[in-house]
Chain A
Amino acid sequence: GAVVSQHPSWVICKSGTSVKIECRSLDFQATTMFWYRQFPKQSLMLMATSNEGSKATYEQGVEKDKFLINHASLTLSTLTVTSAHPEDSSFYICSARKGYTEAFFGQGTRLTVV
């Protein structure tokens, strides 16, 4: 199967700082990448969908100014959590779609804001 790499796997940052998470499709070109957030014992919640070269589409309730998404190439999308606060602490997962239906997932990034 295709490989999606997410970096870093975990990060601890101070409240008020910004954190960037990278998502790369290593062996295929992904026209669409998705960013999810997972709370403990909860489902993966879709935050936004990004298409290469265009603005991301955010789900209702997700602050686009806080969660900046850039999809600069067919193999790289980044999520920047700006001015992070403790309530932003969560597990963030990206996925990249190959074709129209199947998606491949990164290993996730555990963000802790202290």
Chain B
Amino acid sequence: AQSVSQHNHHVILSEAASLELGCNYSYGGTVNLFWYVQYPGQHLQLLLKYFSGDPLVKGIKGFEAEFIKSKFSFNLRKPSVQWSDTAEYFCAVTKGGGSQGNLIFGKGTKLSVKP
């Protein structure tokens, strides 16, 4: 069965620090990969997604993620975080190749940015 692993449960950074959140998945076939963000009191929002093509994906609000197939990883990065990035971040995967597979989520990483 597919699974998604997020390495950090809680990350605390100061503003302007660089961010990297780890995500690894277990499925060996073609996958679609997603990062979602949940701001306090709000619903999940899509930050970025990878379906195919350039493995370096740029999303909203300055976030990017790199798909490394050999490592089954899809780490999320941001060069300089802001206080407003405080939120919970979820990595998710679904089977690719046209399949209508369901999203499998990681446990989430809570990011706290100190002003």
Most chain B CB within 10 A, of A1, A95, A101, A106, is at A101
Stretch at the interface among A11-19, A36-44, A65-73, A76-84: A36-44
Residues of A within 8 A of B96 (CB): 101
**Which residue of A32, A34, A107 is within 8 Å of B43 (Cβ)?**
A107
Nearest B-chain residue to A59, judged by Cβ: B102
Stretch at the interface among B14-22, B69-77, B79-87, B103-111: B103-111
Q: How far is the CB of A43 from chain B (nearest CB, A)?
A: 4
A49 within 8 Å of B by Cβ?
A: yes
Asked whether B105 lies within 8 Å of A43 as measured between CB atoms, the reply is yes
Q: With A32-B100, A49-B102 in contact, do A43 and B107 touch (Cβ < 8 Å)? A: yes
Residues of A within 8 A of B90 (CB): 43-44
In the bound complex, CA of A56 to CA of B111 (Å): 35
The interface bits of chain B over 31-47 (1 if a CB of A lies within 8 angstroms of the residue's CB, else 0) are: 01000100000111110
Asked whether A43 lies within 8 Å of B108 as measured between CB atoms, the reply is yes
**Which residue of B49, B51, B102, B106 is within 8 Å of A43 (Cβ)?**
B106
Q: With A32-B100, A100-B98, A101-B94 in contact, do A44 and B105 touch (Cβ < 8 Å)? A: yes
B9 within 8 Å of A by Cβ?
A: yes
Residues of B within 8 A of A27 (CB): none
Nearest A-chain residue to B91, judged by Cβ: A43
Q: How far is the CB of A2 from chain B (nearest CB, A)?
A: 10
Q: With A101-B32, A101-B94, A105-B36 in contact, do A41 and B43 touch (Cβ < 8 Å)? A: no
Asked whether B100 lies within 8 Å of A93 as measured between CB atoms, the reply is no
Residues of B within 8 A of A34 (CB): 102-103
Most chain A CB within 10 A, of B36, B43, B96, is at B43
The interface bits of chain A over 91-104 (1 if a CB of B lies within 8 angstroms of the residue's CB, else 0) are: 00101010011111
Residues of A within 8 A of B49 (CB): 101-102
In the bound complex, CA of A1 to CA of B36 (Å): 13
Nearest A-chain residue to B36, judged by Cβ: A105
Task: Other than A34-B102, A108-B43, give 4 A-B pairs with Cβ distance below 8 A.
Answer: A44-B90, A46-B102, A101-B32, A107-B43
